[in-house]
Structure 1
Amino acid sequence: MTDGPFRNAALSGRWKRYGQDLISDAASPEERTTQACHGMIGDVDMKAFSPLFDDLKGHAGRDQMDLDPVNVIEAVFDSHSPSPLADTLQRHLIANLRERLPPERALDQALAAMAQQWIDTTKNRLDEECIRARDLGDMSGDEYRKGIERNRETFSAIRADDLCNALATGNKRAFRQATEKKAGVDEGPDE
């Protein structure tokens, strides 16, 4: 991919396409939001995250309470590959358990908090890419202002629940179909 404002960025093709959509008047706000969700899910190693989440869900759903649920949960995290997403989930889950929330509720709230933090972090990272693209001359001043505003709009429209559902079910393709371009001859604008 050689076009778009993020062409010189060390980003995946999904994010480079998002950068093109950010400054394109042809992309709707809904398309940008779906593309951002698709990019976020695409960044997750579901083969590592899904087994971790399944183990956590299994421990949280057990009938018998653990005397020290924090140690049990830490052992679950230690038995899986670390990742920034898993680290964030662990911090929120441990804090919830220390507040004496029931394990299932603690996990649900930790997942929601992790998703919101992930949305905020990704938005900030893409704001930085817009700044870098402007500084490199890959974005004009007008494109930069448009990109920053649209990025803010996009990430404020993302529903953390949608990301939580995709992560909880391990559905890496949750947003893929919506990002594919209509290619049929009979396809036209939605009315």
Structure 2
Amino acid sequence: MSDGPFRNVALTSRWKVYGQKLVSDAASAEERMAQACHSMIRDVDMKTFHPLFGELSAHAQRPQMDLDPVAAIETIFDRHPRSFLSESLSRHLIANLRDQISPEKALDQALGTTAIEWIGTTRNRLDEHCIRARDLGDMKREDYRKGLERNHETFSAIKPDELCAALASGNKRAFGEALHKKSGVDEGPEE
């Protein structure tokens, strides 16, 4: 990708497209949000996260309670590769279990909290890329201010529940449909 504010930053092409949409007045807030969600979920290694989440879900739904639910959960996490999401999920799930929350509810709450943390971390990382792009001269000062403002608007509009559903189902294409623009002859502005 040769243009856009993130052209000299080590990011995937999906995030570079997001960077272009941040500074483009032609992109809507909904398009930026769809691109951000799509980029986030595509960054997840579902081949490692989904089996972990599946095992945690199956364990949480078991009718028999563990004497030490934290140890059982730690054992499950130890059997799977670590990532930002799995580390966050582990931290929040173990904290919930220590608060005596039922395993199923603890897992649901931990996934929601993990999604919120993930959204915030990703927003901050993209703010840093905007700063770097401005410092490199890849982003004009007015685009920098617009980019930061739009980045915050975009990540504030992301619904954590939708990310949770995509993670729980293992659906890497959960936000792909939202990226396709209406292009049919009969489809125009809504009245």
Give the alignment's TM-score, normalised by structure 1: 0.97
Instruction: Name the CA distance, whole Å, in 2 between partners of 1:166 and 1:181.
Output: 21
The answer for the alignment partner of 1:156 in structure 2 is 156
Matched, 1:122 2:129: no
- Worse-matched range after superposition: 65-74 or 175-184: 175-184
Instruction: Name the CA distance, whole Å, in 1 between partners of 2:125 and 2:149.
Output: 14
Q: Could you tell me how far 1:128 is from its partner in structure 2?
A: 0.3
The answer for the alignment partner of 1:132 in structure 2 is 132
Q: Could you tell me how far 1:182 is from its partner in structure 2?
A: 4.5
Matched, 1:55 2:55: yes
CA RMSD of aligned residues (A): 1.1
The answer for the alignment partner of 1:33 in structure 2 is 33
For residues 152-191 of structure 1, what are the structure 2 equivalents within 5 Å? Answer: 152-182=152-182, 186=185, 189-191=188-190
Q: Gapped runs of 5+ residues in structure 1? A: none
Can you list the C-alpha shifts for 1:130-174, whole angstroms capped at 9, x where unaligned?
A: 000000000100000000000000000000000000000111000
Instruction: Name the CA distance, whole Å, in 2 between partners of 1:172 and 1:48.
Output: 13
Q: Could you tell me how far 1:84 is from its partner in structure 2?
A: 1.1
Can you list the C-alpha shifts for 1:48-94, whole angstroms capped at 9, x where unaligned?
A: 10000000000000000000010000000000111111000000000
Q: Could you tell me how far 1:180 is from its partner in structure 2?
A: 2.7
The answer for the alignment partner of 1:46 in structure 2 is 46
Instruction: Name the CA distance, whole Å, in 2 between partners of 1:130 and 1:51.
Output: 35
Equivalent pairs, count: 190
Give the alignment's TM-score, normalised by structure 2: 0.97
The answer for the alignment partner of 2:80 in structure 1 is 80
Identity %: 65
Instruction: Name the CA distance, whole Å, in 2 between partners of 1:12 and 1:63.
Output: 43
